[in-house]
C-alpha cells in the first residue's frame, strides 16, 4: 500500500530555524514547504494546502498570532492543524485565550525545540 507523504509548512523568520526544522521533518519522512513570515505563510498555505503547519509567534511583518487568526478564518485552511513554536512559552497561552472565538492551536512547542517531542506531536496530528 502506498502511503502519501504528508506535507508540513514550516513558518519562521530565522533562516537557520527554517532549515533545521525542514531537515528534521524531511529526515522523518515528511515533505516540507517554508515561509519566512506570516504573509508568505498564507500564500504558501493556499498554494500547497499542507497537512500541518508549524508557526513561529515572534516574526516581523505579521505576527504568528495574526497569521494564525487568518488561517482559522480561511475556509480552505481552517482545518489544517497548527503547532505553535515559540520562545515565549507559557504567556502565549494566555494571549491565545484572548481569541476565544478561535479554536486553540493543536499544540504548543517551546524553543529550543525538542526534536523528539516535535516529531511525535507532528506524527500524532497527522496520523
Cβ-based burial of 57 (10 A; exposed 0-12, middle 13-18, buried ≥19): buried
For the stretch 105-122, pLDDT in tens is 889 888 889 999 999 999
| 0.85 exceeded by pTM | yes
Task: Read off the C-alpha cell for 24.
Answer: 528534521
Task: Read off the C-alpha cell for 74.
Answer: 480561511
Cβ-based burial of 106 (10 A; exposed 0-12, middle 13-18, buried ≥19): middle
Compute and round to an integer the Cα radius of gyration of the chain. 13
Residue 111's pLDDT is what? 85
For the stretch 62-82, pLDDT in tens is 778 889 989 999 999 999 999
* pLDDT above 60: residue 2: no
CA distances in angstroms from 3 to 30, 110, 122, 125, listed in the order given: 11, 30, 16, 16
CATH of 7-126, one of 3.40.50.300, 3.40.50.2300, 3.90.1150.10, 3.30.420.40: 3.40.50.2300
Span 10-23, average pLDDT: 95
Domain positions in the chain = 7-126
Q: Where are the beta strands (DSSP E) in the chain?
A: 7-11, 31-35, 52-56, 82-86, 107-110
Span 14-37, average pLDDT: 96
* Of the listed ranges 37-41, 70-74, 85-89, 110-114, the one predicted with least confidence: 85-89
Amino acid at each position: 500500500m502506498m502511503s502519501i507523504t504528508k506535507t508540513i509548512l514550516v513558518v519562521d523568520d530565522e533562516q537557520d530555524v527554517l532549515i533545521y526544522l525542514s531537515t528534521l521533518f524531511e529526515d522523518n519522512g515528511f515533505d516540507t514547504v517554508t515561509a519566512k513570515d506570516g504573509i508568505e505563510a498564507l500564500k504558501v498555505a493556499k498554494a500547497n494546502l499542507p497537512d500541518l503547519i508549524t508557526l513561529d509567534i515572534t516574526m516581523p511583518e505579521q505576527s504568528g498570532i495574526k497569521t494564525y487568526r487568518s488561517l482559522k478564518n480561511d475556509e480552505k485552511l481552517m482545518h489544517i492543524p497548527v503547532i505553535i513554536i515559540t520562545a515565549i512559552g507559557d504567556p502565549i497561552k494566555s494571549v491565545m485565550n484572548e481569541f476565544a472565538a478561535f479554536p486553540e492551536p493543536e499544540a504548543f512547542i517551546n524553543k529550543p525545540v525538542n526534536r523528539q517531542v516535535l516529531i511525535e506531536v507532528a506524527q500524532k496530528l497527522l496520523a
